[in-house]
Amino acid sequence: MPITLSRRHFLASSAAALAVGASGVLPAWAQNANLRLIFWGGQARADRTYGVVDLFTKDHSDTSIEGEFLGWADYWPKVATQTAGGNQPDIIQMDYRYIVEYARRGALAPLESYMPSKLNLGDFDPAQIEGGSVDGHFYGVSLGANAAATVLNTTAFQEAGVDLPTQATTWEEFGKIGAEITKAGKRKGFFGFADGSGNEPLLENYLRQRGKALYTADSKVAFGAEDASEWFDMWSKFREANACVPPDVQALYKDTIDTSPVTLGKAAADYAHSNQFVGFQAVSKDKLALNNYPRIKSDSKGGHYRKPSMFFSVSSQSKVIDQAVDYVNFFVTNPDAALALDVERGIPESKAMRDVVAAKLDATGKIALDYVSGLGDLAGKLPPPPPSGAGEGQVVLRTIAEQIAFGQLSPSDGGKQLVDELSRILAKG
């Protein structure tokens, strides 16, 4: 598919951007440095990203950048295949879940030697820099902070005449709220909230409030079977009380915004990340809001944390690491770039950029920003990056939760089985 368009012409046309995103072909410009950039996301994110590319190349006429983007599910096979084939793009959008896998296997370039001369992250939250570090080296520049959150359909709450949950709401109260919404029966086949028993961030939040965690820093399971059993038992009671959706409705959820029970009109609340709020609101006719996950007791705290939503990492195979670092630095510290990016990748980590963006945010973006900055005592320390095998662990949690929901397993056996299987996976590495 040979296309010969000028860079500007190409950027003007989002259809062309989509075609390029699908095929990964872009003409090579006869210039000094040619960077390749790959990221996951949709068209909206691509438009913003290419906007920054345009700003950057205006200042750096000796550098050109080829972009490529895919959906989350297709992204990781592609990056892994490119890495294995020695064909890794120079700049890779990286997730907290995968940074350890890639860094430990030597696929990413350590960036600490570029700070602060070329990579100026002086006004970043130190915890977020720590989040991009593995084994004492710095591999990922955070592109924004987010936090886990409950997405609430406020219109549905109003119709049912039920008050929205607040920062202080406990799981027990949340269960009652859910049952009331289901009982109000204002919409057909509508329930209080999504079944979150197989949702990893939600379980992690619950464990953290109990002073536990999902995984330890040295790749072990950091909770006991009794914690997990109590968790599953709580959800079984919600199911009995019709507070949450039945299992066959929950099983339609495929980890995407458009299959969420809130989006499909099946429930008034679901669990997500704050940077996804813009996406949720875009596909909903009703007015949505964000709230924290429920507390286990009215005074329990520290379940939440601010997490780097995604990073830019630089390939260890790159021959133009200097230029790649320049681009990443521009991406997170240039005011025009910050305005182009908005809060679509999370709240900017740099304080100066945060102020620039906050001054011009729309109402939806402001909800996400206010939520993350207003967590207060709900937020605790950032946990260590998930160990190798955590991705598989997430699938195990979901499968066991489904077995319990469909009545094939008891909550107490489910708790034991979860800890056993996770330990087995982590031991395997």
Partner 1 sequence: MSDVMRTTAPDGIKSEYGAAAQGRFRRLWTANAPGYLFLLPWLVGFFGLTLGPALISLYLSFTDFDMLRSPGWVGTANYVRIATADPKFAAAMKVTLTYVIFSVPFKLTFALLVAMALNRGIRGLPVYRAIFYLPSLLGGSVAIAVLWRQLFAGDGLVNAALAQIGIQGPSWISHPSYSIYTLVALSVWQFGSPMIIFLAGLRQIPQDMYEAASLDGASKFRQFYKITLPLLTPVIFFNAVVQTIDAFKAFTPAFIISGGTGGPINSTLFYTLYLYQEAFGNFRMGYASALAWILVVIIAIFTAFSFLSSRYWVHYDD
Q: Which residues bind partner 1 (CB under 8 A)?
A: 73, 76-77, 80-81, 83-84, 101-102, 105-107, 188-189, 247-252, 254-256, 259, 388-389, 391-392, 395, 398-399, 402-403, 406, 408
The SS3 assignment for 336 reads helix
Q: Which lies closer to partner 1 via its Cβ, residue 75 or residue 305?
A: 75
Contacts of 154 (CB under 8 A, 6+ apart): 164, 286, 287, 288, 289
Query: CA-to-CA distance for 175 and 133, rounded, in angstroms?
Result: 39
- What is the smallest separation between the CB atom of 303 and partner 1, expressed in angstroms? 26
CA distance 405 to 244: 11
Which segments of 273-376 does DSSP mark as H helices, in order? Answer: 277-282, 321-333, 335-341, 351-358, 363-373
Q: How far is the CB of 356 from partner 1 (least distance, A)?
A: 37
Q: Which is nearer to partner 1, 198 or 348 (CB)?
A: 198
For the CB of residue 395, give the shortest distance to partner 1 in the complex, in Å.
Answer: 7
Q: Name the minimum Å distance from CB 101 to partner 1.
A: 7
- Rank residues 105 and 297 by Cβ distance to partner 1 and give the closer one: 105
Cα 402 from Cα 389, distance rounded (Å): 20
Q: Give 374 or 407: the residue with its C-beta nearer to partner 1.
A: 407
CB of 264 to partner 1, least distance (A): 9
Nearest distance from C-beta of residue 201 to partner 1, angstroms: 17
Measured from the CB atom, the residue of 52 and 400 that comes closer to partner 1 is 400
Nearest to 198 by CA among 237, 241, 250: 250
C-alpha span between 167 and 172 (Å, rounded): 14
Compute the 3-state secondary structure of the chain and give helix, strand, coil in percent, each to the nearest 5. 45, 15, 40
Nearer to partner 1, 169 or 403 (CB): 403
DSSP H or E run through 66: strand 63-70
